[in-house]
Amino acid sequence: MAVSYNGVTKSFRGRLVLDGISDVVNEGELTALLGPSGSGKSTLLKIIAGLIPLDSGRVSLAGKDVTNTPARDRHIGFCFQDYAPFRHLSLRENVAYGLKVQHVARAQRREQVDELLRLVRLEEFAEQYPHQLSGGQRQRMALARALAIKPDVLLLDEPFAALDAQVRAELRSWVHSLQQELGITTILVTHDQVEAMEIADRLVILNAGKIEQAGRPSFVYDHPATEFVASFLGPITSLGGISYRPHELELVSTNEPGETLEVREVVRLGFEVRVILGEGEGPTTWVQLTHDQAKHLNPRVGERFGVRVRSLKSSSSQSSPTRESTR
């Protein structure tokens, strides 16, 4: 079901958190609301769910205005960052909560809960209580609980933030495939650009209560509309006053025409090597090399190299200058 919001404005105690923002989320899409903390992304998610009232603006689900509809009637699945497990209920009772509210008959309820538990692979933990589960298991429980009411839209607030790196990566791809399998319109809030780029069909980048840019991840990455989006989506460096992604630059021999810089620092990070170059007191430039390239060039501190923009064929993305620096 498509979700749209128009001119959504919200302030808390005189501080403007959302400044008249509008967007449309298409049916079946996974949209990531990406932004730094305090950008208003979680507030927006709660407004869509009807958990907090907005000051002005409208929210629609499938074209129907729900601005004044209470959360309980919006039919939206919502998962909090802390998963908000009902501590006094077993996993099964947690998942069954929404069905009980809808007065689903006991036998049918049991069947549906079993199916959901299978879906989130928690069958054998059905009788456990939330405090007996791991973070990842609690997260899947929260998801099953939200899915139980067969919501039209799924809203996930920082779903992976509280998990450790390995579990996070696993769950991320699992949630992605689950979402594709169910085809449910999903909005996910995150501050992690890698996470957003990996699973979202569409990115909405928020900063200080405003949408900076929205679009397909690869497009937004390659064509950031603002300085903020460029720096938020990945590292940027500058060469001759123009901003580039570090991997868009390459090192060449001093014999080639063009500017040369002195190597200041070489940082080896496993499969990639970060070379930082500079000239006198001037600004430094960061060039990202693959392990093989570094082995071939073998840059050392104090050596000089030519730095230039990588040619089109060697880069997966377009290597037009990202944008004029504001310097």
Partner 1 sequence: MRRSSLVLRVLVVAYVGALLALPLGFVFQQAFSHGWVQLWAALHDHAMDLAIVLTAKVAILAVPLNVLFGVGVSLWIVRRPSRVSRVLDVVIDVPLALSPIIVGLVLELAYAQNGWFGSAFAAMGLRVMFSYPAIVLASVFVSLPLVSRQVIPLLREVGDHQEQTAATLGAKPTRIFFTITMRSIAWAAAYGVTLTLARVIGEYGAVLIVSGNIALITQTLTLNIGANFDNFNSYQGFVGALLLALVSVLVLTVIGVSRHRLERKRHGSFV
Partner 2 sequence: MRPLDDPRTYLAKGVAIGYLSLLVLIPMAALLNNAFSHGLGAFWSAATSTESLDALKLTVACSLFAALFNAAAGTATAYVLVRDRFLGRGVLNAIIDLPFALPTVVAGVTFYTLYGPHSPFHLNITGTWVGITVAIMFVTLPFSVRAVQPVLESLTIDAEDAAATLGASPWRVFRTVTLPAILPSLLTGTGLAFARALGEYGSVVFISNNLPYHSEVSSSYVYSLVSQGNDSGAAAVALFLLVGALAVLITTNVVARRLALRRG
Which parts of this chain interact with partner 2 (CB under 8 A)? 50-53, 67-71
68 binds, among partner 2, partner 1, none (CB under 5 to 8 A by kind): partner 2
Measured between alpha carbons, how far apart are the two ends of the chain, in Å?
A: 44
Residue 111: other Cβ atoms inside 10 A:
12
- Site residues (CB under 8 A) for partner 1, limited to 99-158: 101-102, 130-131, 135, 142, 145-146, 148-149
Residue 138: other Cβ atoms inside 10 A:
22
- Give 182 or 309: the residue with its C-beta nearer to partner 1: 182
Whether the Cβ atoms of residue 30 and residue 14 lie closer than 8 Å to each other: no
131 binds, among partner 1, partner 2, none (CB under 5 to 8 A by kind): partner 1
Distance CA 305, CA 155 (A): 49
- Give 46 or 245: the residue with its C-beta nearer to partner 2: 46
- Give 138 or 247: the residue with its C-beta nearer to partner 1: 138
The residue within the footprint of partner 1, chosen from 35, 40, 77, 136 (CB under 8 A), is 77
- Give 143 or 275: the residue with its C-beta nearer to partner 1: 143
Is residue 71 close enough to count as binding partner 1 by CB under 8 A? yes
Indicate the burial class of 227 (C-beta count within 10 angstroms; 0-12, 13-18, 19 or more).
middle
Residue 270: other Cβ atoms inside 10 A:
6
Burial letters 41-69, b for 16+ CB under 10 A, else e: bbbbbbbbbbbeebeebebebeeeebbee
Instruction: Give the closest residue to 140 by CA, choosing from 128, 152, 106.
Output: 128
Helix (H, G, I), strand (E, B) or coil at 261: strand
- How many chain residues touch partner 1 (CB under 8 A)? 34
Tokens of 271: 């499969």
Distance CA 183, CA 206 (A): 25
97 binds, among partner 1, partner 2, none (CB under 5 to 8 A by kind): partner 1
Distance CA 199, CA 231 (A): 20
- Give 131 or 300: the residue with its C-beta nearer to partner 1: 131
300 binds, among partner 2, partner 1, none (CB under 5 to 8 A by kind): none
- Give 51 or 84: the residue with its C-beta nearer to partner 2: 51
Is residue 174 close enough to count as binding partner 1 by CB under 8 A? no
Bridge partner residues of 188 (DSSP): 32, 156
Distance CA 84, CA 159 (A): 11
- Give 167 or 309: the residue with its C-beta nearer to partner 1: 167
Stretch that binds partner 1, among 20-28, 96-104, 114-122, 235-243 (CB under 8 A): 96-104
The residue within the footprint of partner 1, chosen from 20, 97, 223, 272 (CB under 8 A), is 97
Q: How far is the CB of 23 from partner 2 (least distance, A)?
A: 20
53 binds, among partner 2, partner 1, none (CB under 5 to 8 A by kind): partner 2
Q: How far is the CB of 102 from partner 2 (least distance, A)?
A: 20
Q: Which residues bind partner 1 (CB under 8 A)?
A: 46, 49-51, 70-80, 82, 84-88, 97-98, 101-102, 130-131, 135, 142, 145-146, 148-149, 162
